[in-house]
Structure 1
Amino acid sequence: MSRVRQILDMNAFDAATGGDGAVKRRLDNLGAASVLFYREPIEMVAARGAWMEARDGTRYLDFYNNVPSVGHSHPEVVAAISAQVARLNTNTRYLVEIVDDYLEALKAKLPVDLSNVVMTCSGSEANDLAIRVARAVSGRHGLIVTDTAYHGNTALVTEASPSALRRSPLPDHVVTVPAPGEAAYGGEDIAGGLRAAVVAAMQTLEARGHGIAAFLADSIFSSDGIFADPAGFLQPAVKTVQAAGGLYIADEVQPGFGRTGDAFWGYERHGLAPDIVTMGKPMGNGFPMAGMAARPEHLAMFCEDVGYFNTFGGNPVAAAAGRAVLRVIAAEGLQENARRVGAHLKAGLAQIAAGSDRVTAVRGAGLFLGVDLGAQDGSGAPDADYTVQVIDRMRDARVLIGAAGQFGATLKVRPPLCLSMAEAERFLEAFAGAVSD
């Protein structure tokens, strides 16, 4: 029987085994909070484009990390950060031109009514603030998320991140719905099934005395195992929540900034009008920055009570990084590259799946794909142990990749947006070899 996996346990080094050298040094410094990829951690020393280099000189093709979205160490982003930090770096209590230049460039990519952007340092902070705004606007407390969602690590957001909880149950004000896949809702009417589940969740929240404040969803459901299609399936559920007075918070930390190829934001693939958009990791290509976009009247309602200020959020260096990322995405056609190369990857993976009993499904959009791996008996049951074996085989083939999904049996394919066709072929070759037995 498949066991539910906690997100930080997937493809991770077991600290209980101890270690030596650089591993021991890390464990001594971070203790139980240390999270290292792979059962044999890699010490990295450099990275460029879609490649990372280890201490021993080994170069790895990075299909693991969506943070350097336009490519590791992109020269334009590096130059922008370096020039700004050498000139001025302070908080948003001062007027600094580049901060407003960036905010206006970012807002040009967002719905016109979401004209206030609050800058933070992490997606966790952005989602925390979004929940607080939703509660202020709705006058209610309840939240709906998916079964294996991950939205961050503040106290408030961890409560709405089932995949982050090892022992604690979900609090009374959080109700989950299954991720929008065929396993939960069948292949005929995923949109209707998800809507029905959301309606039931709202009824539960009402019965508990909380009501619905927000439906918080990552539009590609990355931690649930990547569910992208059919485009538009989110509409009925979101509109039902909004009609009941709740807000739809579009968590674009992972699917945003062109990654899905079809659109700049994941929610755009579904034709949605979010009440709040949160964003993070890809904004600064590795520089720590994030943000929340909201309607001015909604933000004003929240600020009447407590207000908000973030010392490092929206600092000039972050603005320089973010502005450079937007320029690079446009100048290098990275959204179109994600669509084109992603379609090639998806087709190649589907071809491999057709010849393998262990590859049971391929899903996703652009350069954000999920590949389910199943049991040897051909039952299609998720096989986390086999997934770890494939991850290790991919590493041996010099390709880095991670796992996702409720049972840790979905490979999460999310390389930098600059991925070339040749690099995509390199990945497909490695994957075909990893599942050849």
Structure 2
Amino acid sequence: MFPPVDTPVSTAVFDYFAQVDLPTPTLSADEARRLVADVFGVEADISPLGSQQDQNFRLFEPGSSEPLGVLKISNPAFSEAEIELQDTAAAVVGQYSPHLRVPRLVEGPRGPMSAWWQTSQGRLHARVIENIAGSTLNGSGYLAPAVVAGMGELAAQVSLALADVEHPAAGRVLQWNLQHAARVVGVLLPSEPDAAVRDLVQRATDAALAALAPVADALPVQVGHFDVTDDNVLRHPGATVPDAVIDFGDVSASWRVGEIAVTTSSVLHHDGATPESALVAVRAFDRLRPLDDAEITAFWPLVVLRGAVLVLSGRAQVRIDDDNAYASDGLDREMRILEQAVSVPLDVLTAATRAALGRPAAPAPAWNGAPLLGQLARHVALDASTESPLNNGGAWLDADALDTAALAALDGGADVVTVPAWRSLLLAPDGPLPLTRETVPTGTTVWLAQPARLKGASLAGGVLTWTDGGEVVTVTPLTGELGEGTETDVLPARTRLFVQRHPAGTSAPAPRVTPAMAQAWHQVCGDPEAALGLPTSPTAGTSEGDDDGDDVLARRHRVLAEVQEHYYDTPPRIERGFREWLVDVDGRVLLDMVNNVASVGHAHPHVIAAGTRQMHLLNTNSRFHYRAITEYAERITATLPDELDTVFFVNSGSEATDLAIRLAMASTGRPDVVAMREAYHGWTYASDAVSTSIADNPNALATRPAWVHTVDAANSFRGRHRGEQAALYAPEAVAVIDELAASGRPPAGFICETFFGNAGGVALPDGYLQQVYAAVRRHGGVAIADEVQVGFGRLGHWFWGFHQQGAVPDVVAVAKSIGGGHPLGAVITTRAIADRYRTQGYFFSSTGGSPVSSAIGAAVLDVIQNEGLQENARVVGTHLKARLEELGQRHPIIGTVHGSGLYLGLEFVRDRETLEPATEETEAICTRLLELGVIMQPTGDFQNVLKIKPPLCIAEASVDAFVDALDRVLTTGW
């Protein structure tokens, strides 16, 4: 607030270069508490808060946890005018954006709580500002893209609010003002004792200043906060995006673009953050506060300078004030900011920023010289992208596959074979879970039919380098060696070579970059093919045949019904699968932990061969007579009890459960069916009628037809009866069946999953099915087992879910896994029940059990049996469950681990006593897992359970990678 007119305010402002060392005030808590009482007339409890140059305390009502405000004792180097500027700026931001929470001066019994104190350390200014509820983003935990975008928006709103502020103290010279960064580095660098740190900071600063110099005079200047960082923004408890800005201590006039540069720098030390991910903040800022061309050019150099100043200042502060834990704790974070800021050349980052903001892209540099390899008549370009036939059958996992294809092309008469630069490739991962998104090569892979001389090149460290003016071309052998003979400028024949091009004076780019960064790298480095005299690459970052780019999702939304959902808000475009992996169109390999449809693994060669062979022979209506349907039906019944000897084939699980219900009705002549609550059985009329999961239909229970009767979900973890009390579920279900019969409406049947799948793989209480099946049969009804998800060995210990219960149903419905991804379902029952269906007319499914479907189904059984996949489910699933249970000992959000084999559920709760479901957290965890390369989705009525149902062939190393990724998420945040 402004002081009374008759009280003169000093207009002297702080000049960092006149007083470099700024030790913080170090009043004791007792002295601060006494002064609050004496000067402001407020009795309060007090606890210290961190700060680098000021001293902060939180004040509480005596004996209470209710905060009164934050006591801020300013560094004595700052004048009254500067303190007034801080309060004014906070008030202006609050007025301009009322939805933002900002700290204002607290009114005490003696007026605004702001005054100069006479303390044991001299005259200090102290004021109490409002305590803003919520938490900062302090630490280096993960920040979701929405949070990063929220920080960019906050920075823009603050910048807009302060755009017209003028104040006599705005010219204060702070070490954090990026206009003075070069001078700050110049002052602090000579006293930095670590030579490696000095070298890093010097190189970074020199590069940033060189990039900044051409535009520095054109950068707009205004008053700004210039500290909208992870430490100085708050979000409400339970909220995701920050909505409050605190600590206006760095308010001054500086380059306008510095606002977002400071904000962005604070993102870079967080888990998984990169310059690419930080662009989310820049986009959000630019939407509200558009950056001009000069500001875009200056942006990343300023981020680098901010990192350099943070590193030097933090280390200097610790040397002069070694008791300052706040400064000490930040050293690693500050170093990571600088390291990330210089991890990509500034010209590349600037090009990437222009692309991210939708600004026109500069063309890639042309090649003006003669072709380095002369004229090569016959050129073959290999397609190694996700959808290329070259990668069929898991060939991409073979490191020699490209060489084999290239040598075959050379043997066929090609002079040169290449894999182009700047196009996404599918390459073998370095481990079971590739965390990397770097799938775009920055160079051209080359095989020559004959040796070729690269005139003027020099050999050093096994790399051949050709330089001419502003261009550098390097050739790195990926097989064999260069310079084996006396001619060190000769490129060998039939050897895989990697050719890169980049501007002189810069280092060669990494061999691969992300698709999002590829265009920027391409703009800076150009096409290696042009230097070699070969056709140049298409648009950087694209894949072979990917002419429509990101438009596929928009097209899907235009032509598919909205209710036909897809996983994830922004889904990867999956175009290949193999074993337990899925591959997106950019060549990124993802670990599939949820796909029980692909039971024996994606693209299993035996299944493909069986379907292909049969497709060559015959595929027709199942009402024709052919061998495949008979043999497949015999194979299925052989896995079941003898009395279950008759098979119906359909196309899906929904059809299978629908038919099972119709069989029960037809065989009994009754309409009523009993089903377990919270289950999902399908989308057809009958299967939907008995589905009562509120996750799939919020009005499920209220909209059931009159012929559907329900019993409690037998969930021993979160149901009405828990633990040992879960034994009560069976007699209660029996009572419902008995009451229906006594009322004159004995049920046609009882249907439930034999292993409670919708809840995340929860085992039914021991003996449950035995008791309920006996009750329904006692009244002439039929016991239906929904095995759509758990049948065919997924449980590991049992081939069918009802085996776990020691019960035998009358009708079994199964689908999903039996086709290995092909649309195939089956209903198996007794001959007597099947025959009674004749009273309802006849049955056929045109393609259910068709020749191709039957051949594929039989092949899936072959793989399960021949490759021991049920045993793999038992062994790997047991290992996986043990590891997940160990996570539960360290992460309170884990309520329990459900399931058996490779049908597991990890249930997340906010409180282990109340079992409040962690629904929003589960969705966010799944999204973060996708960033780390894991496909995972929630299930359950509260969508708070991870449904862990990977292909049965999954390796132990892969499930370990999944648990490691999950541990990282639960440790660093989501």
Q: Report the CA distance between 1:318 and its aligned residue.
A: 0.5
Structure-1 residue corresponding to 2:715: 181
Is 1:368 the counterpart of 2:368 in the alignment?
no
Distance in 2 of aligned mates of 1:46 and 1:181: 37
Structure-1 residue corresponding to 2:697: 165
Amino acid at match of 1:274: P
Q: Report the CA distance between 1:189 and its aligned residue.
A: 4.2
Residue-by-residue CA offset, 1:86-140 (whole Å, 9 max, x unaligned)? 1101123222112211111111011211111011111111111111110122222
State the secondary structure of the residue aligned to 2:757. coil
Amino acid at match of 1:83: R
Does the aligned pair in 2 maintain the 1:229–1:364 contact within 8 Å?
no
Does the aligned pair in 2 maintain the 1:92–1:311 contact within 8 Å?
yes
State the secondary structure of the residue aligned to 2:749. strand
Structure-2 residue corresponding to 1:35: 565
Structure-2 residue corresponding to 1:8: none
Structure-2 residue corresponding to 1:12: none
Distance 1:204 1:395, change over 3 A: farther
Q: Report the CA distance between 1:400 and its aligned residue.
A: 0.7
Distance in 2 of aligned mates of 1:273 and 1:360: 32
- Residue in structure 1 matching 2:811, options 246, 265, 276: 276
Does the aligned pair in 1 maintain the 2:663–2:833 contact within 8 Å?
yes
Q: Map residues 171-320 of structure 1 onto 2, 5 A cutoff.
A: 171-182=705-716, 183=718, 184-190=720-726, 192-203=727-738, 205-206=740-741, 210-228=745-763, 231-320=766-855
Q: Report the CA distance between 1:392 and its aligned residue.
A: 1.0
State the secondary structure of the residue aligned to 1:370. strand
Q: Report the CA distance between 1:211 and its aligned residue.
A: 2.5
Distance in 2 of aligned mates of 1:244 and 1:77: 44
Distance 1:395 1:277, change over 3 A: same
Q: Report the CA distance between 1:213 and its aligned residue.
A: 1.3
Amino acid at match of 2:572: I
Consecutive unaligned residues of structure 2, counting only runs of 5 or more, are 1-549
Structure-2 residue corresponding to 1:79: 609
- My pick for the range that moved more, 60-69 or 222-231, is 222-231
Distance 1:389 1:204, change over 3 A: farther
Does the aligned pair in 2 maintain the 1:26–1:34 contact within 8 Å?
no
Residue-by-residue CA offset, 1:2-61 (whole Å, 9 max, x unaligned)? xxxxxxxxxxxxxxxxxx722221111112232110121221110000000011222110
Amino acid at match of 2:645: S
Distance 1:250 1:378, change over 3 A: closer
Distance in 2 of aligned mates of 1:377 and 1:66: 29
Percent of aligned positions that are identical: 36
Amino acid at match of 2:954: L
Does the aligned pair in 2 maintain the 1:359–1:374 contact within 8 Å?
yes
Q: Report the CA distance between 1:201 and its aligned residue.
A: 2.9
Consecutive unaligned residues of structure 1, counting only runs of 5 or more, are 1-19
State the secondary structure of the residue aligned to 1:245. coil
Structure-2 residue corresponding to 1:155: 685
Is 1:65 the counterpart of 2:592 in the alignment?
no
State the secondary structure of the residue aligned to 1:45. strand
Does the aligned pair in 1 maintain the 2:626–2:851 contact within 8 Å?
yes
Q: Report the CA distance between 1:186 and its aligned residue.
A: 2.1
Distance in 2 of aligned mates of 1:305 and 1:226: 35
- My pick for the range that moved more, 400-409 or 65-74, is 400-409
Structure-2 residue corresponding to 1:431: 966
Distance 1:204 1:431, change over 3 A: farther
Residue-by-residue CA offset, 1:307-349 (whole Å, 9 max, x unaligned)? 2111111100001001101110011000000000000010000
Q: Report the CA distance between 1:274 and its aligned residue.
A: 0.5
Q: Report the CA distance between 1:237 and its aligned residue.
A: 2.0
Residue-by-residue CA offset, 1:136-192 (whole Å, 9 max, x unaligned)? 2222222222221111111121111112334461122212222222232221142x3
Structure-1 residue corresponding to 2:580: 50
Q: Report the CA distance between 1:230 and its aligned residue.
A: 5.1
Structure-2 residue corresponding to 1:5: none
Aligned-residue CA RMSD in angstroms?
1.7
Amino acid at match of 1:176: T
Residue-by-residue CA offset, 1:189-241 (whole Å, 9 max, x unaligned)? 42x32212312432564477543111111111111332125554432222222
Distance in 2 of aligned mates of 1:376 and 1:189: 21
Does the aligned pair in 1 maintain the 2:796–2:870 contact within 8 Å?
yes
- Greater RCO, CA 8 A, separation 6+: 1
Q: Map residues 302-341 of structure 1 onto 2, 5 A cutoff.
A: 302-341=837-876
Distance in 1 of aligned mates of 2:874 and 2:765: 16
Does the aligned pair in 2 maintain the 1:283–1:322 contact within 8 Å?
yes
Amino acid at match of 1:174: V
Distance in 1 of aligned mates of 2:899 and 2:962: 16
Structure-2 residue corresponding to 1:10: none
Distance in 2 of aligned mates of 1:130 and 1:387: 34
Distance in 2 of aligned mates of 1:203 and 1:42: 51
- The alignment's TM-score, normalised by the length of structure 2, stands at 0.42
Does the aligned pair in 1 maintain the 2:789–2:816 contact within 8 Å?
yes
Distance in 1 of aligned mates of 2:594 and 2:850: 28
- Residue in structure 1 matching 2:665, options 125, 135, 144: 135
